[in-house]
Amino acid sequence: MGTAFWSSGVLFAAHRLSVFDVLEARPQSGSDLARACGLTPAGAEKLLAACASLGLVIEDESGQYRNSPLATTFLVRGKPAYQGHLLAYFADLWARFGELEHLLRTGEIGPREMAFDLVRPNDERQAAERAWVLAMHEIALGGQAEALCRAVDLSGYTRLLDVSGGAGSYALRFAEQYPGLTAEVFDLPEVVAIADELIQQSAVRDRVRVRSGDFVNADYGYGYDVVLLSGVLHGLGERHILRVLKKSYAALNPGGCVIVQEMTPDAPSPAAAQFAALFSLNMMSGATYSAEQLALWLNQSGFLRITVTPLEQACWFDHVISGHKP
């Protein structure tokens, strides 16, 4: 366990250096890769050996390396299941987990992470924010959106609001699933700009639109049949959670429903429960709340007919908690 970060370091470095993109074009020797990626020959050989030990690349009898099926599927830019933006997000957390003791003692990020943020150029900051939004999109495409669609039935509903909807991944998927549904992605201006890029590439672009605003403080409007809160509540404390839920309630038509998708400590698999516990350490506010606690907050906000559905095959969020407005 103490050396687990070594593997992460290898993965992050190989991805940033475009090793998997280069190997996808053709097999490479260590010296070939050194020239292609700007590495020392010794560094390239060591990196390839480490990647091979992790199952990321495969060495043939002539000493040439190629991508493993895993790397080809998830680590090559342009592939349908590419997860590189998610890796970039995890790499951004490197400094925070390295100073975890400081965060736990003070509730604030550590001095090294703070110093890095202060000197980080604005274009790098914007690139990191974009990577985060696209990382969440990759999670949705990686099976989370399908799991959510299987867990809820929106038949008969016509208007959905995706609060703090990020790239609009779930709004798009629901619009694809239900031809009579229109959806609105509500998030910060810089986020919905990215969502709009993806929406315009979609076959359902005429039924999905964006609206900018601060989801904690702004009103949501009225006349919706569904309010989706996917991965929203774990970043908030109780006071703000209740505010968001009550605004969601107010935005719904009678008979409408709220859908909360979250990671929880009572996840259906040990691996998912472990992920939720570790992820919670990264947050300076909020927590990974139990499904029971989330259901209680829905009830306190006026929702009835509350259901809790575990997501057995999801890759990030493990429960859906839904409730209806009388």
d(CA 213, CA 166): 12
Mean pLDDT of 67-89: 92
Does residue 49 or residue 128 have the better pLDDT? Answer: 49
Q: Say what the pLDDT of residue 113 is.
A: 52
Q: For the chain, give the mean pLDDT.
A: 89
pLDDT confidence tier of residue 285, bands split at 50, 70 and 90: low
pLDDT at 162 over 90: yes
Name the pairing type of β-strands 252-262 and 208-212: unpaired
Mean pLDDT of 41-46: 94
What is the rounded radius of gyration, in angstroms, for the C-alpha atoms of the chain?
22
Query: Quick one: which of 76, 55, 52, 74 has its CA closest to 63?
Result: 52
**3-class DSSP state of 254:** strand
Domain locations in the chain as residue ranges: 4-77, 143-324
Mean pLDDT of 37-52: 95
pLDDT confidence tier of residue 119, bands split at 50, 70 and 90: very low
Q: Say what the pLDDT of residue 99 is.
A: 74
pLDDT at 118 over 50: no
Q: Say what the pLDDT of residue 244 is.
A: 97
Residue type, 132: W
Q: Say what the pLDDT of residue 95 is.
A: 72
pLDDT at 74 over 60: yes
pLDDT confidence tier of residue 81, bands split at 50, 70 and 90: confident
pLDDT at 115 over 70: no
Cβ–Cβ < 8 Å for 269, 257:
no
CATH 2.120.10.30 fits 4-77, yes or no: no
Q: Say what the pLDDT of residue 105 is.
A: 79
Q: Say what the pLDDT of residue 116 is.
A: 46
Percent with pLDDT over 70 in the chain:
90
φ, ψ for residue 209, nearest 5 deg: -135, 175
Neighbours of 82 (CB within 10 A): 19
Mean pLDDT of 188-199: 96
Mean pLDDT of 66-74: 96
pLDDT at 62 over 70: yes
Which residue is listed with tokens 């020392």? 40
pTM, full prediction: 0.82
Mean pLDDT of 12-30: 95
Q: Say what the pLDDT of residue 178 is.
A: 98
**CATH number attached to the domain at 143-324:** 3.40.50.150
pLDDT at 251 over 90: yes
pLDDT at 293 over 80: yes
Cβ–Cβ < 8 Å for 187, 195:
yes
Mean pLDDT of 282-299: 87
Alpha helices in 38-144 (DSSP H): 41-53, 69-74, 84-92, 94-98, 100-106, 111-119, 122-139
